[in-house]
Amino acid sequence: MDKVDFKKTMKALWQPPAGRFTVVDVPPMQFVKVDGHGDPNTAPAYKRAVEWLYSVSYPVKFMSKKELGRDYAVMPLEGLWWAQDMSTFLSRDKDAWSWTMMIMQPEWITQAMFEAAVDKAEAKFGVPPETLRLEAYDEGLSVQVMHVGSYDDEGPVLRRLHKEFLPENGLAETGHHHEIYISDPRKTAPEKLKTVLRQPVRRL
């Protein structure tokens, strides 16, 4: 049985060049998602959200392999981030941040498979987060870059993106700031972390 790795089959979306902004057209995909608010380093809701995302994603993968004969690598954690005052992303005032954490699921994963995985996880973790769901996300035209370094060093990159690259190229932001965590922060030194920074845009 072949094992699909979407990071390789859709390389442009998960492995952009480091330090250079590129424009991509992201196709519609589906994700397991959980919403929340607060500092990801300290908010209990964030830890619980991530725990549930993986607790559903792995059983779904095993169901796909066993029942459908289709195996794939579980995708990296991703996050959509926003705040009432977007300058808090440059100042790193994390308590002001809202987020949707999510993990991409192959198109053949059904609502029934998702619900079966939730039921299985409930036996271990109790009641799931209220916003836990399987949902489509159509991001479309976006600008992205691979950031290598700590999360707290993203500020200057985001400043260049919004203050220089977008206006110079006739683009304006539309959706939420999007991060894809290619590296595992538990196993990777902060200065070597790889994170895709993505911003949905429209042409002016």
Question: Domain range for residue 145?
Answer: 3-203
Give the mean pLDDT of the chain: 94
* 69-100 pLDDT per residue, tens: 999 999 999 999 998 876 766 677 788 889 99
Task: Give, for 198, the enclosing helix (H) or strand (E).
Answer: strand 194-203
Assign 119 to helix, strand or coil: helix
Q: What percent of the chain has pLDDT over 70?
A: 98
Higher pLDDT, 112 or 96: 112
Residues 6+ apart with CB under 8 A from 75: 6, 7, 57, 103, 104, 105
Angle 81-74-181 from CA coordinates, rounded to 5° = 35
- Quick one: pLDDT at residue 95? 81
pTM of the model: 0.94
* 27-76 pLDDT per residue, tens: 999 999 999 999 898 999 999 999 999 999 999 999 999 999 999 999 99
Strand pairing report for 29-37 and 133-137: antiparallel
- Quick one: pLDDT at residue 112? 97
- Quick one: pLDDT at residue 90? 67
Strand pairing report for 98-105 and 29-37: antiparallel
Alpha-carbon distance of 146 to 105, in angstroms, equals: 22
* 126-156 pLDDT per residue, tens: 999 999 999 999 999 999 999 999 998 998 9
CATH code for position 134: 3.20.80.10
- Quick one: pLDDT at residue 202? 98
**What are the structure tokens assigned to 176, written together?**
């939420």
User: How many domains, the chain?
Assistant: 1
Q: In degrees to the nearest 10, what's the CA dihedral of 137, 13, 150, 148?
A: -170
Average pLDDT over residues 107-115: 98
* 153-176 pLDDT per residue, tens: 998 999 999 999 999 999 999 999
> Does the pLDDT at position 203 exceed 70?
yes
Angle 153-191-95 from CA coordinates, rounded to 5° = 40
- Quick one: pLDDT at residue 96? 80
Q: Which residue has the tokens 């859709």?
A: 10
Higher pLDDT, 187 or 194: 194
